[in-house]
């Protein structure tokens, strides 16, 4: 399936992935005057947020997309609590990354460096602060950089988590590697191949295990991490990769799939570690994507299946928050960008607090009039 300009929460956003069930037909997105640089919402936790980037090379594996690479390279962006409130805010992405992402998504009418001017909240290269912090791995959707999950990552870091966001080179429109090299999307012309989704999630699971193997040695701040408390979350194919990583690596204690069709096969004995599905109305039981129906039966531990009314495939990312800067209006009935970010942050944090910090709250116990958009499946997918 060729990349199309998708609507996040009914809102036109950047290209939808071949690794999810195609969205239903929709009206064309309306254009508007760009609003100027996007500003990500402030984190809701008590801690200031720092961020830094690592570059890792796995010499034991050839890159699955680039036969000339010689080894699998990864970029890992870390977000974490810090004691530093002032300092240079980290760039959202480079001008070149913004250009390639907009070109790859066929977005015109705004300067190609528009997304590089997005305002973030994390202080670049600030020292981490804390001890015994849980680790959360993030994986983005196909064609997207992990920067499109920055709002969620910053919020989790402000709540006392270390977040490791993995860019999987050649699977997104642009990943900057050491020396200024830019890895473009070599996988984009393979997304109709048989077994494509299965191959991607297997490769990403291997990427996750390698990052977990090397993080302590490669990051000077790793002493703040409690390596016995690790979870993973992802959007689209990144969410599918969370399930694949849990199947392959027992260090990942809990996982969240945000609107991703799943491909990894769960063993017949089931998967007993906590897992949460969080998706759009196409993921209701018996809906257009039946992979969650299949896997739900094999999740034998704590589990939740949430569906957000009005949500689109990209509602769990930053992309709705960026739409104004791109001159794109939301479609009628779409879940507003600020609300989709609020719900994503709240429910992801509630899951992680319960399963990595043993802090059980009421948010995941069932439908609530405070969150009428969130349905609990399979019994109560509608509004409370």
Instruction: Tell me the β-bridge partners of 352.
Output: none
Whether the pLDDT of residue 2 is over 60: the answer is: no
Task: Tell me how far apart the alpha carbons of residues 378 and 357 are, in angstroms, rounded to a whole number.
Answer: 27
Q: How confident is the model at residue 4 (pLDDT cuts 50, 70, 90)?
A: very low
pLDDT at 35: 84
Looking at residue 28, its pLDDT comes to 36
Residue 213 is given by DSSP the state H
State the pLDDT at residue 75: 98
For the stretch 113-168, pLDDT in tens is 999 999 999 999 999 999 999 999 999 999 999 999 999 999 999 999 999 999 99
pLDDT for 57-96, tens place per residue?
999 999 999 999 989 999 999 999 999 999 999 999 999 9
pLDDT at 31: 61
Instruction: Give the pLDDT of residue 20.
Output: 40
Q: Which residues contact 79 (CB under 8 A, 6 or more apart)?
A: 49, 50, 51, 122, 150, 153, 154, 156, 157, 162, 163, 165
For residues 283 and 289, is the Cβ–Cβ distance under 8 A? yes
Mean pLDDT of 366-370: 93
Using CA atoms, how far apart are residues 38 and 323, in angstroms rounded to an integer?
A: 8
Taking only the tens place, the pLDDT of each residue in 180-203 is 999 999 999 988 889 999 999 999
Whether the per-residue pLDDT at 177 is higher than 70: the answer is yes
Q: Is pLDDT of 14 > 80?
A: no
Q: What is the DSSP string of 186-203?
A: GGGG-TTSTTHHHHHHHH
Position 329 scores a pLDDT of 85
pLDDT for res 34: 84
Residue 377 bridge partners (DSSP): 305
pLDDT at residue 246, as a whole number: 98
* Region 335-351 average pLDDT: 97
C-alpha distances in angstroms, 333 versus 92, 319, 329, 337? 29, 17, 12, 12
Query: What does the DSSP assignment read for 13-77?
Result: -S-B-TTSPPPPP-PPPPB----SS-BPPPP-SSS-EEEEEEEEEETTS--SS-TTS-SEEEEEE
* Predicted pLDDT of residue 381: 76
Q: What confidence tens digit (pLDDT) does each residue in 258-282 have?
A: 999 999 999 999 999 999 999 999 9
3-state DSSP assignment of residue 251: coil
What CATH number has the domain spanning 7-377?
3.40.50.1820
Place of tokens 């990583």: 245
Least Cα distance to 318 among 183, 188, 145 occurs for 145
């Amino acid at each position: 399936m060729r990349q199309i300009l998708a609507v996040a929460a009914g809102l036109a956003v950047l290209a939808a992935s071949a690794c999810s069930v195609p969205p239903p037909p929709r009206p064309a997105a309306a254009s508007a005057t760009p609003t100027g640089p996007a500003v990500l919402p402030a984190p809701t936790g008590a801690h200031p947020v720092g961020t830094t980037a690592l570059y890792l090379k796995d010499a034991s594996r050839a890159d699955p997309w680039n036969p000339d690479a010689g080894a699998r390279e990864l970029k890992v962006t870390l977000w974490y609590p810090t004691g530093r409130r002032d300092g240079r805010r980290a760039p959202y992405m480079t001008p070149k990354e913004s250009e390639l992402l907009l070109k790859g998504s066929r977005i015109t009418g705004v300067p190609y460096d528009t997304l590089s001017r997005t305002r973030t909240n994390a202080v670049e290269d600030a020292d981490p602060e804390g001890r015994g912090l849980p680790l959360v791995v993030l994986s983005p959707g196909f064609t997207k950089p992990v920067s499109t999950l920055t709002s969620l990552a910053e919020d989790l870091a402000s709540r006392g988590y270390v977040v490791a966001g993995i860019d999987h080179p050649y699977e997104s429109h642009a990943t900057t590697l050491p020396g200024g090299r830019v890895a473009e999307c070599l996988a984009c012309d393979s997304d109709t191949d048989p077994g494509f989704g299965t191959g991607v999630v297997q490769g990403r699971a291997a990427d996750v295990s390698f990052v977990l193997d090397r993080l302590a040695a490669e990051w000077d701040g790793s002493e703040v991490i409690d390596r016995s408390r690790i979870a993973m979350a992802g959007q689209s194919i990144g969410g599918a990769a969370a399930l694949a990583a849990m199947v392959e690596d027992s260090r990942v204690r809990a996982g969240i799939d945000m609107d991703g069709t799943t491909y990894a096969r769960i063993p017949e004995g089931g998967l007993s570690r906590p897992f949460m599905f969080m998706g759009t109305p196409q993921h209701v039981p018996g809906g257009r994507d039946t992979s969650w129906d299949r896997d739900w039966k094999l999740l034998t531990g704590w589990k939740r299946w949430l569906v957000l009314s009005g949500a689109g495939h990209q509602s769990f990312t930053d992309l709705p928050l960026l739409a104004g800067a791109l001159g794109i209006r939301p479609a009628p009935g779409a879940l507003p960008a600020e609300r989709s970010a609020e719900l994503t942050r709240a429910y992801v944090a509630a899951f992680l607090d319960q399963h990595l910090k043993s802090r059980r709250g009421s948010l995941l116990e069932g439908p609530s009039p405070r969150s009428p958009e969130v349905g609990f499946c399979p019994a109560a997918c509608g509004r409370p």
